[in-house]
Structure 1
Amino acid sequence: MSLAERLRHVRWIGGGPGAGKSTIARGLAVRHGWDLYVTDDTMADHAGRTTPQQAPFLHEFMAMGMDERWVERSARTMFETFHWYRGEGFGLIVEDLLRLPRDRPVVVEGFRLLPHLVRPLLADPLHAVWLLPTPDFREAAIRGRSASGEGFVRRTSDPERAARNLAERDAMFVERLERETGRLGLPAIRVDVALAEDELVERVGRVFGIV
């Protein structure tokens, strides 16, 4: 049995940071009784399961201080060297999914789901969708996290510059996702501030053929 067939029960929700992936995935899991796999929750575990040879950019990042990560480098360098954006550790996501029961669907979500890595695993192209947040939507999400006191950028010497670098880096990532999904013929949904959560759930559900 091919890997795509072994993962036929999986539904994939990728996209840019702050696009609402977690909210939509959790909503679908609760509504339809699916299992949920959150790739953000596995990052520390996956980092510990790799070697510098397997994930050189990840281990270089882990050795950096907060300012070196987020303040001292350009947004372009941050984007080009960010380990998860390069697909490091993606194989561990697949390993984890293969260990889950196959008797019910699993929805997996996270920005680590790069289109060119997910595409070969799809028995059906409509088993995956990418959420692409507009600049206004990303800014609103960032403001919300800042207002709640969250944000590792606060642990840098220049939070304003770190936040700007991070926003620019993530904008580059969303642009790449848009190009990749278009090139590979994969579903993508633009997410803006005018799009209500219920409508987004419905759109994702239509892609998956469940509404």
Structure 2
Amino acid sequence: MRHVYWIGGGSGAGKSTVARRLADRHGWRLYSTDDAMADHARRSTAEEAPLLHAFLAMDMDERWVRRSPEVMLETFHWFRGEGFGLIVEDLLRMPREPCVLVEGFRLLPHLVEPLLPGPGHAVWLLPTPRFRRAAFRSRAAPGGNFTERTSDPARAGHNLAVRDDLFTARLREETARLGLPSLAVNGTLTVERLTERVGAVFGL
């Protein structure tokens, strides 16, 4: 998979924006793991993805209000790597030219690392809690947040934010342990400068 490059990281870090800019700039194919989630959910059986199917069976309050952020972290299917094999299947079906740039929070370092042909093929963007919250506030459409469909939107939003902070901390620890590149995203870099930093990791 020498033609595949990976941008993982926490939610709200700007992965999609950076990946889109790099793909457009270099004529690469872009593969968004977010866009593939619905298809991967349909392709996954209960035996292959028990956490996914348990999540689908929950109502909105059970998903986001009644469980602690710690439980949400440990039981969220994509955070546990369910469906990652389907990402690999999709990539193997693609032509080897042009290069493919894969992006999304589903790219767990310990799952990506064995697929890397060498350094310079993957990077993780790690947003600070403050940056993530600001990013989500700027994206939010009135009445468009799914937490509004719970009985306690404030509680659901808090649980989700803490869960995502915990997930980013896990990514930080895992990339450090595996010696994989990561970039802190705290708002001090413009999108263009962050894109350049990621491109430098890839040797572009």
Normalising to structure 1: TM-score of the pair? 0.95
- What pairs with 1:167-178 in structure 2 (closer than 5 Å)? 167-178=161-172
Shift of 1:146: 2.6
Unpaired stretches in structure 2, ≥5 consecutive residues: none
Correspondence 1:53 to 2:47: yes
1:11-160 aligned at under 5 Å gives the runs 11-147=5-141, 149-160=143-154
Distance 1:202 1:195 in 2: 10
Consecutive unaligned residues of structure 1, counting only runs of 5 or more, are: 1-6
Q: Calculate percent identity across the aligned residue pairs.
A: 67
TM-score by length of 2: 0.98
Native 8 Å contact 1:16 1:131 kept in 2: yes
- In structure 2, distance between residues paired with 1:46 and 1:57: 13
Q: Which residue of 2 aligns with 1:182?
A: 176
Give CA deviations for 1:155-207 in whole Å, capped at 9, x if unaligned: 11111110100000000000000000000000000001221101100100000
Paired AA for residue 167 in structure 1: A
1:125 is paired with a residue of what secondary structure? coil
Alignment of structure 1 residues 1-20 onto 2, 5 Å: 7-20=1-14
SS at match of 2:137: helix
For the pair 1:198 / 2:185, whether they are aligned, the reply is no
RMSD between aligned alpha carbons?
0.9
- Following superposition, the deviation at residue 144 of structure 1 comes to 1.4
AA paired with 2:92?
L
Give the match for residue 158 of structure 2: 164
